[in-house]
Amino acid sequence: MRICLVYDCLFPHTVGGAERWLRSVAERLAREGHEVTYLTLRQWDEGVDPGVPGVRVVEAGPRMALYTEGGRRRMLPPLVFGLGVLWHLLRRGGDYDVVHTASFPFFSLLAAAAVRPLRRFGLVVDWYEVWTRAYWEEYLGALGGRVGHLVQKLCVLAPQRAFCFSSLAERRLREEGLRGDVTVLRGMFEAPDAREPSPAASPPHVVYAGRHIPEKRVPALVGALVEARKELPELRATIFGDGPDRPEVLRLIEEHDAGSWLRAPGFVSSEEVQSAIRSALCLVLPSRREGYGMVIVEASAAAVPAVVVADDDNAAVELVDEGVNGTIAASASAADLADAIVRVAAAGPALRASTASWYAERADRLSVGGSLETLVAAYGSGRPSVRA
**CATH of residue 275:** 3.40.50.2000
Residues 22 and 146 in one domain: yes
Does any domain span residue 200?
Answer: no
pTM comes to 0.90
pLDDT of residue 237: 98
- Looking at the 3D structure of the chain, how many domains does it have? 2
Domain presence at residue 146: yes
Distance between CA atoms of residues 95 and 125, nearest Å: 19
Residue 106, domain extent: 2-188+367-387
Same domain, 379 and 291: no
For residue 83, tell me if it sits in a domain. Answer: yes
Shared domain for 232 and 148, answered yes or no, is no
Give the burial class of 383: count Cβ atoms within 10 A of its Cβ; 0-12 exposed, 13-18 middle, 19 or more buried.
middle
d(CA 334, CA 277): 22
* Beta strands across the sheet bearing 2-6: 56-61, 35-41, 2-6, 98-102, 122-127, 161-164, 182-184
pLDDT at 317: 98
375 and 303 part of one domain: no
pLDDT in tens, 7-57: 999 998 988 888 999 999 999 999 999 999 999 999 999 888 999 999 999
Provide the 10 A C-beta neighbour count for residue 2: 16
**Residue 9 falls inside a structural domain:** yes
Bridge partners (DSSP) of residue 57 are 38
Q: Are residues 161 and 246 in the same domain?
A: no
pLDDT in tens, 283-310: 999 999 999 999 999 999 999 999 999 9
Q: What residues of the chain score a pLDDT lower than 70? A: 193-195, 381-388
